[in-house]
Structure 1
Amino acid sequence: MKTNRRNFLQRTTRNGLALLSASTLTAEASSLLLPNGTPPEETAHSPARLKPDHVVRSLPENMVWGYFGADVPPVFKVKDGDVVEIQTVNPSGVSRTNPEEFYTKNKLPLDQHAQEVIAILKNVKPEPSGIRGHMLTGPVYIDGAQPGDSLEIRILDITFPAGFGVNSVWPGGGGIPDAVTTRETFVYRYDTKRKMALLKEGVEIPLKPFMGVMAVSPPADMGRQSSIPPAFFGGNLDIKHLTKGTTLHLPVSVPGALFTTGDGHGAQGNGEVSGVAIETALNLTVKFIVHKGKALKQPRAETPTHFIAVGLDKDLNKAMKNALSEAVAFMKDEMGFTFNEALSIASTAVDFEVSQVVDQTLGVHAMIPKSIFTNRKFSYWS
């Protein structure tokens, strides 16, 4: 049964408030790691960590290397409404043949997380047909999700299991591929008290972690798909606004949806122009909510302050047009404006940002501010 936007928001907000009243989210400052890469200890004076219903660990048996598909067996099954922590890894810069070398060369600890990365690289096999992509955790089967539904992914928390991230440049990669003549890898070390990533003296990047890849399975008739280009089922969207406290909506194409995630980013500029962001391991805690019969054609997202419409295409001009069409359609279909009114609003108030230009299929997202709609109140869960 289809519902209007107001009822949809009211219903999902009630679910979210019930969750937050039962478990207090970690304070923003304590959601990061201490400089040595260990989580801050809870004390009588610190807020309790969010307690998930399930934890999907970053172990070899829970990983898939670079692809999505309806035939990929789920590593975990959860219920509609469950809170799930999904742990991910970052193997950027780490060699499969000598993975320990990366850590010793960069004076990084060979701690438990590093050992997990090494075990994954030694034991997880690439896709047999040659598809390549990111090291991902999943898929997770959500009970009740069926084709024609949409899956709401509420991002409740994002934490760092390691105290560093990696960025690289290489010939043939990024937004100016012909200009890069040498490969170089940069290790960004985290100052978690100040929430900064440090490249070198005088260069500090604010930490704003988000998952580069969040996807459900494509339809079965599409077969397995690489995680590199984003698509209507999500994937490598690289939208920097999908941080803690935001929501992603994806169309469900297969039973159970089969949610997979990875490609954690400590910070990223719009465009991701070197080819990668600050690639980092992240632990993602989400609440899954299935919306029956609410079909979507493309991903949509929401923050406390904005609605986000997504446009994708191999041609950046077409990606821009698709983002505009999605933004206009959202304001027309979900908010009741005429087409011309929606286009006028898009021209006068909506910011269109380039998500990324380096993932084969390029991305533009439209930031629709809620504040301009002064006669409306938008309930939200965070």
Structure 2
Amino acid sequence: MKTSRRSFLQKTSRNSLALLSTGGLTAQSILDTKTSGINEPASKASVIKPDHVVRSLPENMVWGYFGADVPPAYKVKDGDVVEIQTVNPSGVSRTNPEEFYTKNNLPLDQHAQEVIAILKNVKPEPSGIRGHMLTGPVYIDGAQPGDSLEIRILDLTFPAGFGVNSVWPGGGGIPDEVKTRETFVYRYDAKRKMALLKEGLEIPLKPFMGVMALSPPPDMGRQSSIPPNFFGGNLDIKHLVKGTTLHLPVSVPGGLFTTGDGHGAQGNGEVSGVAIETAINLTVKFIVHKGKALKQPRAETPTHFIAVGLDKDLNKAMKNALSEACAFIKDELGFTFNEALSIASTGVDFEVSQVVDQTLGVHAMIPKSIFTKKKFEYWT
């Protein structure tokens, strides 16, 4: 892609924002539907009692990169439950962040003030690496290179009642066809769990984190959060909702887990270049698996195993996803390679995660139900 998804966000900080036409739905009428959990921290809205809360404060933020040399913002133990608060300043100008809220009739509440403080105080990476506004890293005691980290997603809640999507020339899946830049504010109906753009359009809210990563190995240096990689990052897999699990390979002591880029909803492909970009408070349980080495991220839901393929070429990303799916069916479920390939062809769905993050993603959805002689225990 000629223009990365986050280079657009840098450009919007130097340009006026497009006003939203809600087609008869006023901002106040939608925000009045708020209920507990959509505009409160997860620690208040959820029955889950975290062992630790990592707040979205400037000192806990990293702007756009991962690295083994990034000092941890917080240290936790293997097995701890951790609430990690994140922000998503999509469409908000660094030079005049208040303008976004006033133009779009959004409250300058506590969360907005946190976003403003972060934009004014968190510095970009000195070498020029750019990416998402992230919370972390979190050091997990006991995690060492050669292990894997299980990340159980216990809860995802909204600290603000809206999200932002954008289109811009040179971005997304059809970059040459977009002629003008426009920013859209989706306002949340918490009671019905819908995102509303204008009269007659409702997008079901299905929140997930676009970015969940461990640190790359030291010899890779600092890496931008825009392209996903074997250590996780900007996977943008829409199925990683509450009640699902992500497994990542550990490359450095403590793992150094970092997250951000919350999404209120996203279609497979993320074809405009961004989803409904939104702040999310993520509650997870970290579990270290000693000596369980992984080559690529893996995930699990109550109904599926998920294998991941990544590459700058979408065809190669598809082949990588197929190889990972076959390896999983063979090594973890006890089939031959040829049997695994046959199963992948007849019973597994391959979906495009995203086509807009420089390194593209395909994920394989392996249904547990087709393995009728096996019983899969799961934590939910």
| TM-score (structure 1 length as normaliser) | 0.89
Aligned pairs, number: 347
Question: Identity of counterpart residues, as a percentage?
Answer: 90
**Partner residue of 1:299?**
297
**Partner residue of 2:287?**
289
Q: Does 1:370 align with 2:368?
A: yes
**Partner residue of 2:229?**
231
**Partner residue of 1:200?**
198
For 2:231 and 2:34, locate their aligned partners in 1 and report how far apart those are by CA, in whole Å: 37
For 2:291 and 2:283, locate their aligned partners in 1 and report how far apart those are by CA, in whole Å: 25
**Partner residue of 2:54?**
56
Secondary structure of 1:177's aligned partner: coil
For 2:294 and 2:45, locate their aligned partners in 1 and report how far apart those are by CA, in whole Å: 37
Q: What are the residue-to-residue correspondences of 1:118-157 with 2, within 5 Å?
A: 118-157=116-155
Give the letter for the 1:171 counterpart. P
Give the counterpart of 2:67 among 66, 69, 77: 69
**Partner residue of 1:26?**
none
Relative to structure 1, is the Cα distance of residues 264 and 34 closer, same or farther in structure 2, using a 3 angstrom cutoff? Answer: farther
Cα deviation 1:28-58 (Å, max 9, x = unaligned): xxxxx9744864799xxx9961110000000
Q: Which runs of 4+ in 1 moved over 6 A?
A: none
Give the counterpart of 1:262 among 260, 271, 274: 260
For 1:303 and 1:66, locate their aligned partners in 2 and report how far apart those are by CA, in whole Å: 28
Cα deviation 1:56-112 (Å, max 9, x = unaligned): 000000000000000000000000000000000010010011100000000000000
Q: CA RMSD in A?
A: 1.6
Give the counterpart of 1:182 among 170, 180, 183: 180
Give the counterpart of 1:82 among 61, 74, 80: 80
Give the counterpart of 2:95 among 94, 97, 117: 97
Contact 1:89–1:117 at 8 Å: present in 2 too?
A: yes
**Partner residue of 2:111?**
113
Give the letter for the 1:360 counterpart. Q
Secondary structure of 1:179's aligned partner: coil
Give the letter for the 1:185 counterpart. T
Contact 2:38–2:160 at 8 Å: present in 1 too?
A: no
| TM-score (structure 2 length as normaliser) | 0.89
**Partner residue of 1:163?**
161
**Partner residue of 1:341?**
339
For 1:381 and 1:252, locate their aligned partners in 2 and report how far apart those are by CA, in whole Å: 22
Contact 1:38–1:162 at 8 Å: present in 2 too?
A: no
Secondary structure of 1:140's aligned partner: strand
Give the letter for the 1:309 counterpart. A
Give the counterpart of 2:273 among 269, 272, 275: 275
**Partner residue of 2:329?**
331
